[in-house]
Amino acid sequence: MDKSPFTRIEKGGVTSPKGFTAGATYAGLKKAGQDKLDLTLLYSERPCAAAGVFTQSKTCSPSVTLSRQRIARRAAQAIVVNSGCANACVGPQGLTDAKDTTILAAKKLGLSEEDVLIGSTGMIGVELPMALIRSGMQKISLTATAGPSFAKAIMTTDSHPKEQALKFQMGGKEITVGAACKGVGMIHPDMATLLCFITTDAAVEPGFLQAALKNAIDKSLNMVSVDGDTSTNDTAIILANGAAGNRPIKAGTKEAALFQQALIEVAVPLAKMVARDGEGATKLMEVTVEGAASAADARLAARTIASSPLVKAAVHGGDPNWGRIMMALGRSGAAVTESKLSLYISEICVFDKGVPIAFFKEAAVNSMKESSVAILAKLGLGSHSATAWGCDLTEEYVRFNTEYST
Amino acid sequence: MDKSPFTRIEKGGVTSPKGFTAGATYAGLKKAGQDKLDLTLLYSERPCAAAGVFTQSKTCSPSVTLSRQRIARRAAQAIVVNSGCANACVGPQGLTDAKDTTILAAKKLGLSEEDVLIGSTGMIGVELPMALIRSGMQKISLTATAGPSFAKAIMTTDSHPKEQALKFQMGGKEITVGAACKGVGMIHPDMATLLCFITTDAAVEPGFLQAALKNAIDKSLNMVSVDGDTSTNDTAIILANGAAGNRPIKAGTKEAALFQQALIEVAVPLAKMVARDGEGATKLMEVTVEGAASAADARLAARTIASSPLVKAAVHGGDPNWGRIMMALGRSGAAVTESKLSLYISEICVFDKGVPIAFFKEAAVNSMKESSVAILAKLGLGSHSATAWGCDLTEEYVRFNTEYST
């Protein structure tokens, strides 16, 4: 196996790349007793190339609308994020509040408001408490070691922060990529994930940066499903500030391929962390589909299996009830020919080219007691493959979401 | 209000129309301790016009494949149904067993095997125990009062049988329509429902019969979602034997409109019964979307809300967390303009043309304690509407499906 060009940075995150600082505070948007950070800033000392992918929801948050508009310039220098309030479905006030929040951040940082992006997550249908945001903003101080605080401040129902960072060499320069991400309910992203922020000190040509981000998210966070519900606020943003001193990375080059791979290497572990931390989840489910007739079919089949409530419940119970996997494949819309299809649960073949296998059930049950369960479907129709990540469906998920607002 | 032309028949079902008989037995396909009928026959004394709609699953049961083939002749005279075994995903043996089952039924009834249709429901991935089917078939005796036994024998995880019947006058003749249906997991039908059998003594032109069945199912059972999962075995069949003595009903006539309405009047209550009896469910959820830009949008929006796990969990908890309804609308794919949209929960307006309403939360909470919860979304974009039915998501659903096969 080739040695990986990438070195993981232990406890690294959005402030690992050169020239990025962050800060966070408790402004009072979350309930007392919950995690005590809910307003945070991410800042680059230099102007950045910027790219983003966002929810396809038609009731998206004005925070998304504003960031989508501003990122069209392919440039930005800071991001302000609040948790506890999604700033969604509140009428025209939502866009006013989103703008005002970026103005407060811009004044504090000495930037033009156009250079500040915004992300919001939390309860839908309540207005941003602007007085709290205003006083909270004043309390934030920026440091180059506050990546973990940023990661903590963007959380809502997450049980722990989700960060990644790695470094690699490119043309004699050391490049670092860092990221923070949060889940973990309403997770079935469509063109984006809930909130994911990636920083890098690489210099990157903005058009390529957008394409590389889209491709990395499509192979990672867009392949996660916790509950099949898509948020109003999904946002993934990357800022590239060029502090590493490399020549700007252009599409189609060897450097572009390396940078693309670095983004995927950062995003895939985050995707698995989101799935494993799904509301109420006790297990990670990794679904791989091979031999699909098209790339779209492979993605569709893998995501449909990973999001089927009946498959998720079977994984929770450690029940190798593979008929449910067949059912999900059958309804996915992907081309499936039963006589060419084989199925594996944790590497145990349960269905071979159209015929059920008398597998040793106890072995399958035992393998499903592990904290990760692997499902593999070989469609035998082509050369395309995809992997999706999900989690088990638990009584705790229902209990949690039954009690959320009352 | 116009007086309805239809009279409900108390405790009516598939043997209410003239000339239909049924019979059922316990053949041993279900586990001991479960409901003790699992093999059943429905027979018409005269040849029938027949129509059917079936699952769109690409891993459908050979029982579906066989019925779909045979119903292309638009004629049939009997249906054999087994519960406890789906006869799905078992390789080539599945079609052999489905055919053999209809041959056994045909011999018993003195029919050609081509005139016998088949439905199967239960565990996926295990073969039909043909020795049990063979001996069970001999034990069945047919009577004109066995509709309730038929309805009981097709059940799997249903808590009670689901039947409907009504009669009406047409050209001096009394026409009766009866039906039996079962759910209640893997319920998100695509072009059909799990198992639904409708009988009528009307004479109906076969082409119109197919169109009328399709239309009635699209407005009823195809608008039910329990868990978003689509079965491999969904089947809805109608047999029309002409025993009422009416002139055959042709498309485009006044009689056709009346007959169409009769089918809808039979199918909608069954749809509600399936939703309310959803696995683990404690409440019926009725979602109506009005003012959609197209009929497809109305259906899509209503079904997406009714099948959202987060909406279903909120309904279970009696939590008027309407942001989740907005989220589901936003991701549904239907055209939605937030500023034109209004939302009602149990007739309480919570969101009015783009602006949240300071509704009395206690009243909404109380209204959601009822056994039926109504959600109404007025999109304000056009004149199309649709209603979908679902149920709440409960810990019991998870518990039940975690323990299903082990």
Q: Does A380 touch chain B (CB under 8 A)?
A: no
Q: What is the pLDDT of residue B130?
A: 96
Q: Count Cβ–Cβ pairs < 8 Å, chain A vs chain B.
A: 217
Q: What is the pLDDT of residue B182?
A: 84
Instruction: Supply the CATH number for residue B348's domain.
Output: 3.10.20.340
pTM higher than the cut 0.90? no
Q: What is the pLDDT of residue B147?
A: 95
Q: Are strands A116-123 and A162-170 parallel, antiparallel or unpaired?
A: unpaired
Q: Measure Cα distances from A277 to A391, B232, B373 in Å.
A: 8, 31, 31
CA distance A196 to A233: 11
CB contact (8 A) between residue B326 and residue A232: yes
Per DSSP, what are the bridge partners of residue A166?
A: A8, A177
**Burial of B302: CB neighbours in 10 Å, binned 0-12, 13-18, 19+:** buried
Where does a domain end: B257, B276, B295? B276
Among A237, A188, A331, smallest CA distance to B187 is for: A331
**Residues on chain B touching A313 (C-beta within 8 angstroms):** 397-398, 401-402, 404
**Could you tell me how far CA A8 lies from the centroid of its own chain?**
18
In a domain, A166, yes or no: yes
CA distance A406 to B4: 42
Q: How many domains does chain B have?
A: 2
Where does a domain end: A249, A274, A299? A274
Domain region containing A69: 7-274
Q: What is the pLDDT of residue A192?
A: 34
Q: What is the pLDDT of residue A401?
A: 78
User: Which of A90, A123, A402 is nearest residue B316 as measured by Cβ atoms?
Assistant: A402
CB contact (8 A) between residue B314 and residue A404: yes
In a domain, A2, yes or no: no
CA distance A368 to B279: 24
In a domain, A172, yes or no: yes
**What is the DSSP annotation of A176-245?**
EEEEEEE--SS---SSS-SEEEEEE-S-B-HHHHHHHHHHHHHTTGGGEESSS---S--EEEEEE--TT-
H/E segment holding residue B390: strand B384-391
User: Which of B190, B329, B405 is nearest residue A321 as measured by Cβ atoms?
Assistant: B405
Residue ranges with strand state E in A55-88: 75-85
B82-118 pLDDT, tens digit each: 998 989 888 899 999 999 999 999 999 999 999 999 9
Section A303-317 average pLDDT = 90
Helix axes A309-317, B395-402, angle to 10 degrees: 60
Q: For residue B191, is pLDDT > 50?
A: no
Active site residues of B: 193
User: Which of B56, B125, B398 is nearest residue A356 as measured by Cβ atoms?
Assistant: B125
CA distance B343 to B356: 9
Q: What is the pLDDT of residue A241?
A: 92
Q: Is the same domain home to B170 and B186?
A: yes
**Residues on chain A touching B351 (C-beta within 8 angstroms):** 89, 125
The rounded percent of chain A whose pLDDT value lies above 90 is 60
For residue A405, name the pLDDT band (cuts at 50, 70, 90): low
> Which of A3-7, A144-148, B228-232, B301-305 is the least confident region?
B228-232
B194-211 pLDDT, tens digit each: 788 899 999 999 999 999
Q: Does A395 touch chain B (CB under 8 A)?
A: yes
In a domain, A306, yes or no: yes
Token code pair at residue B318: 């009696």
The rounded percent of chain A whose pLDDT value lies above 70 is 94
Q: Are strands A235-240 and A348-352 parallel, antiparallel or unpaired?
A: unpaired
Three-class SS of B104-165: HHHHHHCCCHHHEEEEEEEECCCCCCHHHHHHHHHHCCCECCCHHHHHHHCCCCCCCCEEEE
Q: Is the same domain home to A221 and A136?
A: yes
Among B286, B170, B267, smallest CA distance to B221 is for: B267
Q: Is the same domain home to B137 and B202?
A: yes
In a domain, B98, yes or no: yes
**Could you tell me how far CA B383 lies from the centroid of its own chain?**
27
User: Which residue in the block uniquely carries the two structure tokens 């491999």?
Assistant: B232
**Residues on chain A touching B88 (C-beta within 8 angstroms):** 323, 326
Q: Does A282 touch chain B (CB under 8 A)?
A: no
In the stretch 209-238 of chain A, residues with CB closer than 8 A to chain B read: 227-232
CA distance B15 to B147: 5
Q: For residue A188, is pLDDT > 70?
A: no
Complex ipTM above 0.90?
A: no
Q: Does B86 touch chain A (CB under 8 A)?
A: yes
CB contact (8 A) between residue B330 and residue A60: yes
Q: What is the pLDDT of residue B126?
A: 86
Q: For residue A242, is pLDDT > 70?
A: yes
For all residues of chain A together, what is the average pLDDT? 89
CB contact (8 A) between residue A310 and residue B227: yes
Spatial contact of A203 and A247, defined as CB atoms under 8 Å apart: yes
Pick among A336, A401, A403, A404 to test the B interface (most B CBs inside 10 A): A401
**Residue of chain B whose alpha carbon sits nearest to that of A400:** B313
For residue B230, name the pLDDT band (cuts at 50, 70, 90): low
Instruction: Supply the CATH number for residue B225's domain.
Output: 3.60.70.12
**What is the DSSP annotation of B282-297?**
--EEEEEEEEESSHHH
CB contact (8 A) between residue A89 and residue B58: no
Section B163-173 average pLDDT = 92
CA distance A36 to A24: 10
| Positive or negative: CA dihedral A367, A368, A373, A375 | positive
Q: Is the same domain home to B147 and B197?
A: yes
Buried (b) or exposed (e) across A51-81, using 16+ Cβ within 10 A? bbbbbebbbbbbbbebbbebbeebebbbbbb
- CB atoms inside a 10 Å sphere around CB A145: 11
Q: Measure Cα distances from B308 to A278, A309, B211, B344, B374 in Å.
A: 16, 11, 30, 17, 15
> Which of A248-252, A276-280, B333-337, B343-347 is the least confident region?
A276-280
CA distance A19 to chain B (A): 37
In the stretch 104-123 of chain B, residues with CB closer than 8 A to chain A read: 123
Section B222-227 average pLDDT = 77
CB contact (8 A) between residue B308 and residue A398: no
Token code pair at residue B359: 């509704």
Q: Is the same domain home to A175 and A193?
A: yes
Pick among B338, B353, B392 to test the A interface (most A CBs inside 10 A): B338
Q: For chain B, first and last CA: distance in Å?
A: 53
CA distance A305 to chain B (A): 10
CA distance A194 to A182: 7
Q: Measure Cα distances from A320 to A326, B180, B184, B229 in Å.
A: 12, 32, 21, 18
Helices (H), ranges, A332-360: none
H/E segment holding residue A388: strand A384-391
Q: Is the same domain home to A246 and A330?
A: no
Q: Is the same domain home to A178 and A289?
A: no
- CB atoms inside a 10 Å sphere around CB A110: 7
Q: Is the same domain home to A257 and A288?
A: no
User: Which of B227, B339, B394 is nearest residue A309 as measured by Cβ atoms?
Assistant: B227
* Residue type at B366 in one-letter notation: N
- CB atoms inside a 10 Å sphere around CB B117: 27
Length of chain B equals 406
In a domain, B2, yes or no: no
In a domain, B335, yes or no: yes
User: Which of B126, B309, B341 is nearest residue A229 as measured by Cβ atoms?
Assistant: B309
Q: What is the pLDDT of residue A225?
A: 75
CA distance A83 to B370: 33
**Residues on chain B touching A326 (C-beta within 8 angstroms):** 59, 88-89, 124-125, 232
Per DSSP, what are the bridge partners of residue B168?
A: B175
CB contact (8 A) between residue A59 and residue B314: no
Active site residues of A: 193
Q: What is the pLDDT of residue A2?
A: 64
**Residues on chain B touching A406 (C-beta within 8 angstroms):** 317-319, 321, 365
For residue B170, name the pLDDT band (cuts at 50, 70, 90): very high
Q: Is the same domain home to B18 and B164?
A: yes
For residue A187, name the pLDDT band (cuts at 50, 70, 90): low
CB contact (8 A) between residue B356 and residue A91: yes
A2-38 pLDDT, tens digit each: 689 999 999 999 999 999 999 999 999 987 765 589 9
CB contact (8 A) between residue B230 and residue A330: yes
B3-13 pLDDT, tens digit each: 899 999 999 99
Of B229 and B332, the one with more pLDDT: B332
Q: What is the pLDDT of residue B235?
A: 82
Q: What is the pLDDT of residue B404?
A: 56
Q: Is the same domain home to A270 and A289?
A: no
CB contact (8 A) between residue A329 and residue B58: yes
CA distance A11 to A23: 17
**Residues on chain A touching B125 (C-beta within 8 angstroms):** 322-323, 326, 351, 356
Q: What is the pLDDT of residue B276?
A: 86
Q: For residue B2, is pLDDT > 80?
A: no
CA distance B241 to B238: 10
DSSP conformation class of B334: S
* Residue type at A344 in one-letter notation: Y
Spatial contact of A45 and A89, defined as CB atoms under 8 Å apart: no
CA distance B341 to chain A (A): 10
Q: For residue A95, is pLDDT > 60?
A: yes
Section B337-360 average pLDDT = 91
Q: For residue B190, is pLDDT > 60?
A: no
CA distance B81 to B114: 15
Section A122-148 average pLDDT = 94
For residue A193, name the pLDDT band (cuts at 50, 70, 90): very low
Where does a domain end: B242, B276, B310? B276
Q: What is the largest CA-CA distance in chain B?
A: 68
What's the CA angle centered on A139, arms A136 and A142, to 5 degrees? 120
Q: For chain A, first and last CA: distance in Å?
A: 53
**Burial of A383: CB neighbours in 10 Å, binned 0-12, 13-18, 19+:** exposed
CA distance B135 to B141: 13
H/E segment holding residue B305: helix B295-307
For residue B327, name the pLDDT band (cuts at 50, 70, 90): confident
Q: For residue A236, is pLDDT > 90?
A: no
Q: Is the same domain home to B337 and B216?
A: no
Length of chain A equals 406
In a domain, B186, yes or no: yes
Pick among B193, B231, B336, B406 to test the A interface (most A CBs inside 10 A): B406
CB contact (8 A) between residue B231 and residue A403: no
Q: Is the same domain home to A301 and A265?
A: no
In the stretch 297-356 of chain B, residues with CB closer than 8 A to chain A read: 308-310, 313-314, 316-324, 326-332, 334-336, 338-339, 341, 351, 354-356
Q: What is the pLDDT of residue A273?
A: 87
Section B389-403 average pLDDT = 84
CB contact (8 A) between residue A230 and residue B331: yes
Per DSSP, what are the bridge partners of residue A84?
A: A122
DSSP conformation class of B18: T
For all residues of chain B together, what is the average pLDDT? 89
Among B5, B55, B284, B89, smallest CA distance to A324 is for: B89
